[in-house]
Amino acid sequence: MNKSLVKVPKKRIENLILIIRGEKVILDSDLAELYQAETRALVQAVKRNIGRFPKDFMFQLTREEFESLRSQFVISKGPGGRRYLPYAFTEHGAIMAANVLNNEQAIRASVQVVRAFVKLSQIIASNAELVRKVNALEQTYDTQFKVVFEAIRQLMNPSPRKVKHIGFRSKI
């Protein structure tokens, strides 16, 4: 076994996954680093095998998306930086990228990448379930509070009733 192979911490991979256009993705530069390849080598391998990368596997960011990422994550735009807009790889695209790179590190790291994507999907699913439960509780409590507020309004505005005088009355 090659000693230069590195096991990437799962938490680090999870932190590289972004949500862009509603998709969970990893940017080409991050994927290249995980797979111990140069970004340009990864992109070249992808372009040579572009038929393996349909739109649901990979897409190129727009200028606006890239600028937004740059401002959020303070990505350098100094000399020696990117000359093209980055590519974003979905879970399936990350696996396919490992296949086209065809190096041992890429194959090993792709397993960890898939696990990170699966974990993120589980977190999102459990979060959606929590939102559903909160919405159900909110509807239940709205109904209960409506009854309480109606009772309070009735107490604040008692119905007029005939007043019966107490005591002695003169008939003058």
Say what the pLDDT of residue 159 is: 62
Q: Which amino acid is at 164?
A: K
Say what the pLDDT of residue 63 is: 92
Answer whether 0.85 is exceeded by the pTM.
no
Residues 59, 21: contact at Cβ < 8 Å? yes
Instruction: Determine phi and psi for 165, rounding to 5 degrees.
Output: -75, 140
Q: Which tokens go with 161?
A: 């009733």
Instruction: Determine phi and psi for 62, rounding to 5 degrees.
Output: -80, 165
The radius of gyration of the chain's CA atoms, rounded to the nearest angstrom, is: 31
Residue 64: CA atoms inside 13 Å, Cβ hemisphere, count?
A: 2
Say what the pLDDT of residue 28 is: 93
- Name residue, tokens 């696990």: 115
Q: How far is it, in rounded angstroms, from Cα 124 to Cα 14?
A: 13
Give residue limits of the domains in the chain. Answer: 10-123
Listed in order, strand segments (DSSP E) in 37-133 are 58-60, 87-89
The pLDDT tens digits along the chain (172 residues) read: 444 555 666 677 788 888 899 888 999 999 999 888 899 999 999 999 999 999 999 999 999 998 888 777 655 555 556 788 999 999 889 888 888 887 777 777 777 777 777 787 777 777 777 667 766 766 676 666 666 656 666 766 666 666 666 666 667 6
Could you please state the CATH topology (level 3) that the domain comprising 10-123 is classified under: Mlu1-box Binding Protein; DNA-binding Domain (3.10.260)
Q: Which tokens go with 96?
A: 């396919």
Q: How far is it, in rounded angstroms, from Cα 103 to Cα 32?
A: 11
Say what the pLDDT of residue 150 is: 63
Q: Which amino acid is at 10?
A: K
Say what the pLDDT of residue 14 is: 80
Q: How far is it, in rounded angstroms, from Cα 87 to Cα 30?
A: 10
Would you state the torsion angle of the CA atoms of residues 126, 127, 129, 130, taken in this order, to the nearest 10 degrees?
120
Q: Report which of 98, 96, 88, 95 is spatially closest to residue 52, judged by C-alpha positions.
A: 96
